[in-house]
A = this chain, B = another copy of it.
Amino acid sequence: MQTLTVDLGDRSYPIFIGEQLLAREDLFKPYLAGKQVCIVSNETVAPLYLQSVEKALNGAQIIHVLLRDGEEYKTLTELNSIFDTLLNHRHNRTTTLIALGGGVVGDMTGFAAACYQRGVDFIQVPTTLLSQVDSSVGGKTGVNHPLGKNMIGAFHQPRCVIADTDALKTLPQREFSAGIAEVLKYGLICDLEFYHWLQLEMDGLMARDPQLLREAIYRSCVNKAKVVAADEREGGLRAILNLGHTFGHAIETAQGYGNWLHGEAVAVGMLMAADLSARLGWIKSGEVDMLRELLQRARLPIAAPKGMDVQQFLQLMAVDKKVLDGQLRLVLLREIGSAVVTTEFPLNELKACIAAAA
């Protein structure tokens, strides 16, 4: 097991990464606020791991809520089912919520914890690669709105994160690849050495070699923790974590949540951001080609969905949270391993970049 700490003063918390962690009482118990525990999971994950976690919580008053599986259920309405269950069982302010599942479960459970009786504790137990390297760390929680992803939410940090790499054994191939997209992101935005390591080890990673997996998750979390600690509420630096996300959100919104996976949309979005960076002369076009090849080795898409045109992209990108006072801000690559947030790009280059991907 490897451990690292997200350094946020009195909101600091540990991340545990390794095999066979789900059943470890010693990892859960110190982070329970009281006797009441509510495990939030979904129909897919619960049959696999709920029993194991319940065993680790032996002695607590445990209830659970099973959400419907999928990004299309990341809504205020579905969120309310968590509140219904908590209130029906009279859970009070000392309850602890446990998010057992992927990013949707984590985001919704965290937001429910942020709002239930104006805030209770929660623990992240991410079971997908994407959530282990990204959404479970950093305290961003929320739900979608028909007019935009993650538009309603809160910053609410978990008490700890327990990332069991064994859970990845049952992960469908598409979801695994989607997680790799975010792993690659850390290399691109702030860790050139990690990016080179990923170029070297991609095939072993795709074969889910346990050692390589643990190293990739650990290194991703170290990078994320560093950025989050420097900018908890996304005042500046943290925005670089959104590399590819503004393009990606447009794709997800256009396709309807759940048809493209978040990581798949981000993969194409990162490639578009790299392409635009090359058009601005910041990186070499050969580096864009190498990224494209790496995404292909990770079995990720490298082009926008059929039917999306430049106008639709621009329209959907304008409502993204990264728009500040009407100005579209994008995360681009000053060089491989170094991202910047900028509004300084000619509109015609942006259009050309979209046209090339669409």
Contact of A145 among B87, B114, B147, B321 (CB under 8 A): B87
Q: What is the copy number of this chain in the assembly?
A: 2
Residue of B nearest to A90 (CB): B319
Residues of B within 8 A of A83 (CB): 145, 151-152
- Docked-complex contact A151 and B116, CB < 8 angstroms: yes
Query: Is residue A325 within 8 Å, beta carbon to beta carbon, of the partner chain?
Result: yes
- Docked-complex contact A119 and B233, CB < 8 angstroms: yes
Query: Is residue A115 within 8 Å, beta carbon to beta carbon, of the partner chain?
Result: yes
Q: Indicate the size class of the contact surface on chain A.
A: 35 or more
- Docked-complex contact B94 and A325, CB < 8 angstroms: yes
Residue of B nearest to A86 (CB): B151
Interface residue SS majority, chain A: mixed
Which A residues from 314 to 333 make CB contacts under 8 A with B?
318-319, 321, 323-326
A280 to B114, CA, bound (A): 38
Question: How far apart are A330's CB and chain B's nearest CB, in angstroms?
Answer: 15
Question: How far apart are A328's CB and chain B's nearest CB, in angstroms?
Answer: 11
Most B CB atoms within 10 A — which of A34, A93, A118, A234?
A: A118
A116 to B150, CA, bound (A): 9
Residues of B within 8 A of A87 (CB): 145, 147-148, 151, 319
A312 to B93, CA, bound (A): 22
Query: Is residue A153 within 8 Å, beta carbon to beta carbon, of the partner chain?
Result: yes
Residues of B within 8 A of A103 (CB): none
Residues of B within 8 A of A152 (CB): 83, 115-116
Query: Is residue A92 within 8 Å, beta carbon to beta carbon, of the partner chain?
Result: yes
For the complex with contacts A83-B152, A115-B115, 9 further pairs of A-B residues with Cβ separation under 8 Å are: A84-B145, A87-B145, A87-B319, A88-B147, A92-B321, A92-B323, A94-B325, A116-B152, A119-B233
Q: Could you pull out 30 A-B pairs where Cβ atoms are within 8 angstroms? A: A35-B325, A83-B145, A83-B151, A83-B152, A84-B147, A88-B147, A90-B318, A90-B319, A90-B323, A92-B321, A92-B325, A92-B326, A93-B321, A93-B324, A94-B324, A94-B325, A115-B115, A115-B142, A115-B152, A115-B153, A115-B154, A116-B151, A116-B152, A118-B140, A118-B155, A118-B234, A119-B154, A119-B155, A119-B233, A154-B154
